[in-house]
Amino acid sequence: MAIQKALLVPKKFSDFVVGDTEKYKPGPGEILIKVQSAALNPADWKIRKYGVIVEEYPAVLGLDIAGDVEELGEGVTDFRKGDRVFCASQWDKNKSAFQQYTLALASTTARIPTHLSYDEVATIPVGLSTAWVGLYNKNPYGAGFSAPISPAEEGKYTGDPIVILGGASSVGQAVIQLAKLSGFSPIITSASLKHTEYLQSLGATHVLDRNLPLDGLKLHVDKATNRKTVKIVYDAIAVEDTQRMGLSLLAPGGQMVITTNQVVKGEGKSILRVLASLRILPNIELLETLYKDKITGFLERGAFKCHDYCSPTDTKCFPTALQEFQMA
C-alpha cells in the first residue's frame, strides 16, 4: 500500500500531528489531487476542539482544496493529469485537504484560471458553496432565487434589497458577490468598518458598523432601501444576536438564511438553515452546475474574486503542525 504524509487528528480533542496515511486510488468518477494549498476553515478547528461531526479517528480535516490532477478514475474525461483544480471536501478522510494527495469527484471540481494561484482559489470552495446553496437552492434548502447561470438570470433581482450580516466572513464575501451577480440592490452588509473599502469592491453598496444597536441598524437600512421592505437577509454569522437582528430587519413573510443552527423563533418569517454538503440530494445538481460550468468563468471575467488570506508562513495564522506538514 502506498503511503503519504497527512496532518492527522489522532483522536477526539487531540492536537494536530504529522503522520502517515494511505495514498488513495480514485474510483469511478473521481480524481486524485496532489494538494498544493489548503485553507483553514472555521469548521476545522471546531471539529478538533469540540469533537463534533467526525466520528472515525485518526481523522484528516481540511475543507478547501487546491492542487494538481494526479490520476483519473474510470469514466473521467473532463480532466487530464497536471490540470490545476480546486474543490470542496466531502468531510471524508480520503477527500480532505490536509494531506499530500486527496480524492475528489470530477463533477464538483473546477479548473483554476491561469491568472490565479493555488493559495487564492483555496479561499473559495466552502464559502462559495454555502452562499450558492443558501441563495439559490429550492425552499426549504435555500431561499429559492434563480441562480445567475445565464445572461437572462444575471441581474434578475435589480431593485430588490438584500441584507448580509457578517459581510467580511468568507461566506459573507461570497454572498455579496453573488448578490451583485444576481442584481440585488441595494446590497447592505454589516462588518467592522475597517473592511468598508474592500467589501465595496466586492459589490456592497452600504457597509454598516457591526456594533450598531438594532435601532441604529434599522434606521440605516431604512435609509439605504428608501424604506423598501427587506425580503431576504443572509446571516453569515448566525449567533443568537445576529439571528434576532436579521429577523427584526425582515418584512413579514421574508426569508433569513443562516449558517448555524436556528436558536430563535421565526415569528411569521422563514428561517432557512443552509447545509452546503456536495452530496446532499437537493444540492447535487446545483453544485455540479456551479463547479463544472460556472465558477471558472466567473473568476476569469472578474465577476467573482478570491478572498484575502494569510500567508502560510505567518505563524499567527497557522498552527505549528500545519507548517511542519507544509514542509514535509
pLDDT in tens, the chain (328 residues): 799 999 999 999 888 999 999 999 999 999 999 999 999 888 888 888 888 888 889 999 999 999 999 999 999 999 999 999 999 998 899 999 999 999 999 999 999 999 999 999 999 999 999 999 999 999 999 999 999 999 999 999 999 999 999 999 999 999 999 999 999 999 999 999 999 999 999 999 999 999 999 999 999 999 999 989 999 999 999 999 999 999 999 999 999 999 999 999 998 999 999 999 999 999 999 999 999 999 999 999 999 999 887 766 665 555 544 444 444 3
Could you tell me if residue 75 is left (phi over 0), alpha (psi between -120 and 50 degrees) or otherwise beta?
A: left
All 3 cell numbers of residue 199?
467589501
Q: Which domains does the chain have, with CATH numbers?
A: 3-123+309-327 (3.90.180.10), 127-273 (3.40.50.720)
The pLDDT value given to residue 328: 39
**CA–CA separation, 45 and 54 (whole Å):** 12
Residue 153 falls in which region: left (phi positive, over 0), alpha (psi -120 to 50) or beta: alpha
Torsion angle of the four alpha carbons 311, 316, 322, 325, in this order, in degrees rounded to the nearest 10:
60
Would you say 158 and 146 are in contact if contact means Cβ atoms under 8 Å apart?
no
pLDDT at 324: 44
CA angle, residues 287, 289, 294, in degrees to nearest 5: 110
- Strand, coil or helix: 326: helix
Residue 58, Cβ neighbours under 10 Å: how many?
Answer: 15
Residues 111 and 296 sit within 8 Å (Cβ to Cβ):
yes
Strands 3-9 and 59-60: antiparallel
pLDDT of residue 53: 84
DSSP state of 55: -
Q: Which residues pair with 3 in a beta bridge?
A: 22
Give the CA radius of gyration of the chain.
20
- The answer to whether the beta carbons of residues 84 and 112 sit under 8 Å apart is yes
pLDDT recorded at residue 321: 44
Q: Nearest Cα to 177, choosing from 310, 294, 36, 311?
A: 294
Separation between Cα atoms, residue 121 and residue 309, nearest integer Å: 10
CA distances in angstroms from 131 to 71, 165, 200, 245, listed in the order given = 30, 12, 18, 19
What is the pLDDT at residue 312? 60
**H or E segment to which residue 50 belongs:** helix 42-50
Query: Using CA of residue 142, residue 144, residue 145, residue 151, what is the dihedral sign?
Result: positive
**Residues near 241 by Cβ (< 8 Å), separated by ≥ 6?**
none
The reported pLDDT for the residue numbered 47 is 85
